[in-house]
Amino acid sequence: MSRKADKAAARLREELAELRRRTAEQEVSERRYRQLAEELRASGEMFRSMADSANDAIMALDERGIVSYINQAGEKLFGQTAEEVIGKSLHETLIPERFRDYSRGAFAARTATGMEGMLGAIREFQALSKNGKEFPVEASISAVRSGERTFYITFCRDITARKQVEEELRESQRRYRDLIENLNDVVFTLDPLGRFSYISPMIGRISHYTAEEIVGQPFTRFIHPDDLTGLLGSFERTLTGDLEPYEFRVLDKDGISFHVRTSSRPLFKNGDLVGLAGVMTDIRRRKQAEEELERYRGNLEDLVEERTKELEGATEGLRRSERYYRSLIRNAGDMIDILNADFTIRWGSPSAGRITGYTPEDIYRKSILDNIHPDDIEPAKAVLDHVLNNPGEPQGTVVRFKHKDGSYHFHEAIVTNLLGDPALKGIVLNTRDITDRVLLDEELRHSERYFRALIENAYDIIAVLSPDGTMGYLSPSLEKVSGFTQEERLGQDAFKFFHPDDLPRVMEAFARGLEQPGFTDRIEYRWQHADGSWHWQEAVATNLLDDPVVRGIVVNARDITDRRLAEERLQRLNQCFLGLGPDPLENIQKLALAGKEMLEAELARYGRMEKGDFYIFSSLHAGEGFMLLEDVEEHLCYYLLSRGAVGPVSTEDIEVRVFEKDPDVREHGFRSCHFHPITVQGESIGCFNLLDKEKREYSQLEVNTLAILSKAISIEEERYASNESLRDFVDIASHELRHPVALLAGFTETLGSHGSEMDKQTRNEIVDAIKQSTARISHMVMGLLNISLVERERFFISKSSGDILLLIERVVSEMRVKVQGREFSVEPAGEIDECEIDPERIHDLLVILLDNAVKYSPEGSEVELTVETAQDEIMVSVLDRGIGVPAEHREKIFERFYQVEEAQYHSKPGLGLGLFLARQIVEGHGGRLWYEPREGGGSAFRFTLPR
């Protein structure tokens, strides 16, 4: 062998040694890479195990709602296996059919707004399990971008139990009827013609209209013209069973429009539509906020557009690369190529042919750049140029290289310029296909991010504890739930933060869990919040110490303070109701004290008016019961009552000057108050009141509790009033009966002992007096009998065609005989037709009215009767020149047992039943009976009868 050849061979050997060294280096980097990948995989798997053992159902969805992941809790919740769900649309598999369109729309609307990274807002919806059962769930949803795609991660939990608690609470509320009047929302009903048939008084607070002004009016009168069409559409939908709330503008009394939200449902009776019942909420404050937000969003829109474009670019690139990967042939091994100075291929190793699929004919004399991905040509050229200028110096690069099947693969190459080497005269390429590695790397990163995102977006706290209770992992929701940051708590002993009373139980459960790998336990306890308060949590802990990727106790905890509170309130409310006894005033005291305790107020008071006196019960002197208060003017309860307040009143509704005058406020320095006036039959007669030293705002739950208590108090007040009127009645009835009975006793006694000595005239007079007394007693007994018939709904009217004028004249002539020294006149206006009447009842009615006219007008004054015919009715009026009825009593005199105050002192006989019966009779005939003050003094009682 020549020396020259020797030298070349030596050179080549040297070069090959160099190549080997490079390869060895590559292997080191490969090992390092593998380690990294291993770590990533472990962390990804840890998160996956955590997701699988989570307490909440977790799902990942794409933008169309197709499920790509569901954890075990999710499979359990929906009763479907992952295989059954994955790849299918959430809307089709897990949502009841009637909500599907809505669900699809709502989901699309949410995904369109882009909400990456944001902790999901919580929504409630109806879900469907495999066996077709519907149940309510609560879900949070958030978007996570992972690799080339955006996922929507949903955390769902079954809230059937919570709904049940709510239902029970509602049930307890139902015990006390008419609660609606105390709600902050307006409750209304519409008749089938769209007229208000009822609206709760709360409307006054938001619209300046009173309920009376609205009832009977068509609802369209109050709607902003622009919103009318939409609203009518919504009502139509309501009638077909769609109970979605609707927002629109209404006009208040001054014509000013504001936003409300109503939800209504159709009312059916025996299958017929009889109207619509709804709830209306004043949302103007919310609307204002929304409008502001809208303005703000305007500015943001440009920004979002920009970002969307960026994103689209990125996605396009990724989609392209996805195509390369898909058809990759996974293969390992090194390739060696030798290039000429113009980058054409001179030689390729057999492994290169095997890996790329090219035969020598395919590539010889072709430029290597021909098969390099267009995007990588420039960098590749730069490397080659660098190598050309630096002979002998190896240079590394990664490019995408097209294989014969058209797919691009990632090639990692080391390029060395050995053109100057006479034996080689070429550029040496040492290449390795690293596509698998790139893909795996991508996948791992993806899965790690994916599962980390699942955990970190949970609104449960997820924690991993070591066997000694040290907190090794804490999800970011910790901060939301407990006020602490992850950093503040990581590495600390979890047991330090449990309530001392709960700690033994918790530790015992923990110890039990430690003994059994895979063991799961559920426990409730109090945990300390950053603000020092104790919050109730519910946790599910799973022993995953044996799981090599977790090696800890995985705890899913959630805050259940609100739920506990609601349950406790419910229990206390029920206890309080069960503890009520027969005495209404005592019950009111109990209810007031229960309110103080339940709402943790510092002082509870209840002030009530009775016969012009003001009584106060205060939790400060609970033992003393109700006390009569002399100096009433400055007492806030009296102040509000005397102003006729009906709805709840709080601190900001009262002038400071007035507030500070209250004797308890002065003495104890209260700064916050809440008042609930109590009304009985439309009249404010009491006021329930809580006071606090700290400024305080009541939550919705608290306001509702207060409303229930107030309703209970008003029912006790009603009971008290009806007991009271019963007592009054017994007093009056015994007084009324005593008189004729005493007369009877006296006269019969006289007749018995002296009858034989009397002359005929005296005897006749006495017998007449006895007859009168028995007539009076039997009149009273008949009255009571009729009342009892009315009460039992057995008071019937049997009508036949009759001459009312004739009847009136008969009664009047009877009156003339019965009442001496009084004038009665009857004035018919024109022809009076016959009408359908029950002559006996109408007779009673006329007697009642005429008796009263006589009773309540001065001796010698005339009693007049007028009869008129109107279009389709006859109107009869009984007119006197007596004392009349003061305005405030004009409706009440028609109530059972009601007498105007002077009558109660009993200058006149009577039971307070006459007018009550009179109205029953008139209404039984389909007419009306009412009182009018008579011009020139006296009373006019008028009634109508249909013709």
Residues that bind ligand ADP (CB under 6 A): 848, 852-853, 856, 880, 882-885, 893, 898-900, 903, 910-916, 939
Distances in Å between the alpha carbon of 420 and those of 70, 111, 364, 427? 62, 61, 21, 9
Least Å from the CB of residue 816 to ligand ADP: 18
Q: Which is nearer to ligand ADP, 86 or 733 (CB)?
A: 733
Nearer to ligand ADP, 59 or 893 (CB): 893
CB of 881 to ligand ADP, least distance (A): 10
SS3 assignment for 208-265: CCCHHHHCCCEHHHHECHHHHHHHHHHHHHHHCCCCCCEEEEEECCCCCEEEEEEEEE
Nearer to ligand ADP, 202 or 922 (CB): 922
CB of 768 to ligand ADP, least distance (A): 24
| Residues present in the chain in total | 947
Each residue of 713-737: b (16+ CB within 10 Å) or e? Answer: bbbbbbbbbeeebeeebeebbeebe
Distance CA 218, CA 190 (A): 9
Q: Is 937 helix (H, G, I), strand (E, B) or coil?
A: coil
436 near 37, Cβ under 8 Å?
no
Closest to ligand ADP by CB, 216 or 937: 937
Sheet holding 345-348, edge to edge: 345-348, 334-339, 426-433, 408-418, 395-402
Find the shortest distance in angstroms from Cβ 736 to ligand ADP.
9
> What is the closest distance, in whole angstroms, from the C-beta atom of residue 682 to ligand ADP in the complex?
19
Query: Least distance (Å) from ligand ADP to the CB of residue 800?
Result: 27
Between CA 25 and CA 432 the distance in angstroms is 13
Least distance CB 796 / ligand ADP (angstroms): 21
Nearer to ligand ADP, 372 or 885 (CB): 885
Q: Which of 713, 694, 687, 678 is nearest to 635 (CA)?
A: 687
Contact between residue 895 and residue 884 where contact means Cβ atoms under 8 Å apart: no
Nearer to ligand ADP, 560 or 819 (CB): 819
Q: Closer CB to ligand ADP, residue 145 or residue 892?
A: 892
Tell the smallest beta-carbon distance from residue 925 to ligand ADP (Å). Answer: 18
Query: Which residue, 45 or 932, is less far from ligand ADP as judged by CB?
Result: 932
> Helices 804-818 and 839-855 meet at what angle, rounded to 10?
40
Long-range contacts of 178-182 (CB under 8 A, 24+ apart): 178/711, 179/707, 179/708, 179/711, 181/711, 182/647, 182/648, 182/676, 182/707, 182/710, 182/711
CB 134 within 8 A of CB 96: yes
What burial class does residue 387 get, using C-beta atoms within 10 Å of its C-beta: 0-12 exposed, 13-18 middle, 19+ buried?
buried
- Strand, helix or coil for residue 281: strand
All residues at 6 or more sequence positions from 380 whose CB lies less than 8 Å from its CB, including other chains:
369, 372, 397, 399
> Which CB sits closer to ligand ADP, 584 or 914?
914
CB of 926 to ligand ADP, least distance (A): 22
| Secondary structure of 753-788 in HEC code, one letter for each residue | HHHHHCCHHHHHHHHHHHHHHHHHHHHHHHHHHHHH
**Minimum gap (Å) between residue 902 Cβ and ligand ADP:** 7
- The owner of tokens 């900001």 is 652
CB nearer to ligand ADP: pick between 698 and 916: 916
Q: Where are the alpha helices (DSSP H) in 601-671?
A: 636-642, 656-661, 663-668
Residues ≥6 apart with Cβ < 8 Å to 323: none
Q: To the nearest whole angstrom, how small is the minimum distance from the Cβ of residue 744 to ligand ADP?
A: 21
Q: Which is nearer to ligand ADP, 323 or 906 (CB)?
A: 906
CB-count exposure of residue 151 (10 Å: 0-12, 13-18, 19+): buried
Distance of CA 163 to CAs 106, 126, 522, 562, Å?
A: 23, 12, 20, 13
Q: How far is CA 818 from the centre of its chain?
A: 67
Q: Which is nearer to ligand ADP, 355 or 915 (CB)?
A: 915
- The least distance separating ligand ADP from the CB of residue 651, rounded to whole angstroms, comes to 43
Please report how close the Cβ of residue 946 comes to ligand ADP at its closest, in angstroms.
24
**CB-nearer residue toward ligand ADP: 451 or 941:** 941
Nearer to ligand ADP, 25 or 731 (CB): 731
User: Angle at the Cα of 629 (from 627 to 631), degrees rounded to 5?
Assistant: 160
What is the smallest separation between the CB atom of 882 and ligand ADP, expressed in angstroms? 5
Q: Which residue is nearest to ligand ADP (CB)?
A: 910
Q: Which is closer to ligand ADP, CB of 222 or CB of 916? A: 916
Q: Burial code of 413-447, b = ≥16 C-beta within 10 A, e = fewer?
A: bbbbbbbebeebebbbbbbbbbbbbbbbebbbeeb
How far apart are the C-alpha atoms of 403 and 903, rounded to whole Å? 113
- What is the widest separation between alpha-carbon atoms in the chain? 185
- What's the closest the beta carbon of residue 824 comes to ligand ADP, in angstroms? 14
Cβ closest to ligand ADP, residue 384 vs residue 915 = 915
Two structure tokens written together for 346: 């001179």
**What does the block give as tokens for 384?**
């080659």
Instruction: Report the nearest approach of ligand ADP to the CB of residue 734 (Å).
Output: 15
- Tokens (6 digits) for 723: 């007991």
